């Protein structure tokens, strides 16, 4: 590691065994680790020597301002400290790595991204389904259901594309997402998987259809962080919707 450099490291979806070897090495050499809210605390066992700085950013919760995080990285790097910005999932998938890299480089600080497994991949694996499959779909699209300025994705283009959709940060926008997909012509019986806390021991998942999405999420008591997998490949999933009477007991056991 050089003296004036920042590493943006993906901590993966939650399971600490899904860290890359490079992420473990970089964490083990860090002086300061700025930790995202969704990072599993078990991951921090790989950096016992480092000063830990929580910089949580979650939708619907009070978040550390992005500008403050960037200034903090710059200040520590200019002090000659080895700085790691530890993010849930992959830094380049809705992790703001692009703007952080550009900002740091504009201020004379080198930056390196260490990829991590994104939650959407872990969510699909949790349901036992492939994201692509010959004869069903030849692609997958990652999209966020929540944007900073409230603008929506081009759902019509996404529906026309025919790929499997991995929808991040969509729990609070389920009604809007359902209406937009149906309005864009997606079939009402399109299979949808809802995966909460992918890869963690408290992981839960269920399967429904687009027309039943809101009702299924309500009965399932779906909470963030969760991934929506939308597409015909979901028909291959090993996930079922729980009967409404079982939801409360299941959540208690999973907590």
Instruction: Measure the CA–CA gap between 142 and 159, rounded to whole angstroms.
Output: 13
Q: What is the overall mean pLDDT for the chain?
A: 89
Nearest to 229 by CA among 92, 162, 131: 131
User: Does 133 participate in catalysis according to the annotation?
Assistant: no
pLDDT of residue 2: 47
User: Does 36 participate in catalysis according to the annotation?
Assistant: yes
175, 222 in Cβ contact below 8 A?
A: no
Nearest to 61 by CA among 153, 145, 169: 169
pLDDT of residue 244: 38
SS3 71: helix
Judged against a pLDDT cut of 80, whether residue 239 lies above it is answered with no
Omega before 225 within 30 of 0, i.e. cis: yes
User: Does 31 participate in catalysis according to the annotation?
Assistant: no
Q: What is the pLDDT of residues 77-124, one digit of tens each?
A: 999 999 999 999 999 999 899 999 999 999 999 999 999 999 999 999
110, 2 in Cβ contact below 8 A?
A: yes
Q: Over pLDDT 70: what percentage of the chain?
A: 88
Judged against a pLDDT cut of 50, whether residue 164 lies above it is answered with yes
pLDDT of residue 238: 66
Q: What is the pLDDT of residues 134-155, one digit of tens each?
A: 999 889 999 998 766 678 899 9
Q: Which residues contact 21 (CB under 8 A, 6 or more apart)?
A: none
What's the token pair of residue 145?
Answer: 């259901």
What is the CA angle 1-75-49, rounded to 5? 50
Judged against a pLDDT cut of 90, whether residue 240 lies above it is answered with no
How many helices (DSSP H) and strands (DSSP E) are in the chain? 8, 10
pLDDT of residue 6: 97
By DSSP bridging, strand 204-209 and strand 191-196 are antiparallel
Backbone angles phi, psi at 157, to 5 degrees: -65, -40
Among the listed residues 15, 73, 90, 169, the single catalytic one is 169
Judged against a pLDDT cut of 60, whether residue 12 lies above it is answered with yes
Give the chain's length: 255
Domains and CATH numbers, the chain: 5-114 (3.40.1010.10), 119-254 (3.30.950.10)
Least confident of 13-22, 148-157, 188-197: 148-157
Q: What is the dihedral of CA 46, 92, 99, 22, to 10 degrees?
A: 30
32, 9 in Cβ contact below 8 A?
A: no
pLDDT of residue 248: 39
Among the listed residues 15, 57, 73, 173, the single catalytic one is 57
């Amino acid at each position: 590691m050089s003296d004036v450099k920042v590493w943006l490291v993906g901590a993966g979806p939650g399971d600490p065994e899904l860290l890359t070897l490079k992420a473990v090495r970089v964490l083990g050499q860090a002086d300061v680790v700025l930790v995202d809210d969704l990072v599993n605390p078990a991951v921090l066992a790989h950096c016992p020597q480092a000063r830990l700085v929580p910089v949580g950013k979650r939708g619907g919760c009070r978040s550390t301002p992005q500008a403050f995080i960037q200034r903090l990285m710059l200040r520590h790097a200019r002090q000659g400290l080895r700085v790691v910005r530890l993010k849930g999932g992959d830094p380049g998938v809705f992790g703001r790595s692009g703007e952080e890299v550009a900002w740091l480089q504009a201020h004379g600080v080198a930056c390196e991204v260490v990829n991590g497994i994104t939650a959407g991949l872990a969510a699909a694996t949790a349901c036992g389904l492939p994201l692509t499959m010959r004869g069903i779909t030849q692609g997958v699209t990652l999209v966020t259901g929540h944007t900073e300025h409230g603008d929506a994705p081009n759902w019509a283009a996404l529906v026309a594309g025919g790929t499997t959709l991995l929808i991040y940060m969509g729990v609070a926008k389920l009604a809007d997402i359902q209406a937009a997909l149906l309005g864009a012509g997606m079939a009402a019986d399109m299979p949808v998987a809802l995966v909460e806390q992918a890869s963690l021991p408290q992981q839960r998942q269920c399967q429904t259809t687009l027309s039943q999405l809101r009702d299924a999420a309500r009965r399932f008591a779906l909470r963030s962080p969760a991934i929506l997998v939308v597409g015909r490949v979901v028909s291959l999933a090993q996930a079922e919707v729980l009967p409404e009477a079982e939801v409360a007991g299941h959540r208690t056991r999973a907590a």
